[in-house]
Amino acid sequence: MKKVLVVIDMQNDFIDGSLGTKEAQAMLPRLVAKLAREREAALIFTQDTHGASYLETQEGKLLPVAHCVKASPGWEIAPALAPYVARAAAVIEKPAFGSLALPEAVRSLRPEAIELTGLCTDICVIANAMILKAAFPEIPISVDASCCAGVTPDSHENALAAMKMCQVRIVR
C-alpha cells in the first residue's frame, strides 16, 4: 500500500522557539523514530511561512507572536529531521494554517493512505487533515497522536476528538 506521511510544521519556533512547548520537545524523538521506521512511505513536509509584516495580518492580530518568519532560525525545520526532509517528495511553504497546495502534492503521489503528524494538533494539523479529508473522501486518513502536540494537552485531545468525529482515524 502506498502511504503518504505528512509532517506538519516541525519548525524550531513551534518546538523550542517563540511558540514552543514541552510537549512538542518531548514528541520530536518519537517522530524521528517513526520516520526512521517509515522507509516506504512518501514524505511531505509543510512549513508555516510568514513575512516581516506578520503582526499586521489577520492571523498576526489574533495571534500576536512573531514566528516562522521566512529564512529565520525559527522558520527552519528541526535539525533532527534533516535526513527526512532531504528525501521528502515535497516541502510546502504555507502562509496560513491549512495549505491548499497540499492536496495537489499528495495527489501526485497516488496515495492509498495518508497519515499526518506534527504541530500543532489543534491548529495546523486539524486544518490540513480536514482539507485532505475533503480532497480525498475515499482514502483512509489518520493522525498519529503520539507524533503530534497541541498548544496545550487539552486542546490536543479536543482536536483529536474533532478529527475522529470527521472519520479521521486516530492512532495512539
Angstrom distance (rounded) from CA 12 to CA 158: 24
Residue range(s) defining the domain that contains residue 91:
3-171
Backbone angles phi, psi at 16, to 5 degrees: -135, 15
- Give the relative orientation of helices 153-165 and 126-135 as an angle to the nearest 10 degrees: 10
pLDDT digits (tens, 9 = 90+) for 70-89: 999 999 999 999 999 999 99
For the question of whether the overall pTM of this predicted structure is more than 0.85, the answer is yes
pLDDT digits (tens, 9 = 90+) for 111-137: 999 999 999 999 999 999 999 999 999
Query: Residue 134's domain is classified under what CATH number?
Result: 3.40.50.850
For residue 82, the model assigns a pLDDT of: 98
As for how many domains the chain has, the answer is 1
SS3 call for 80: helix
SS3 call for 152: coil
For residue 81, the model assigns a pLDDT of: 98
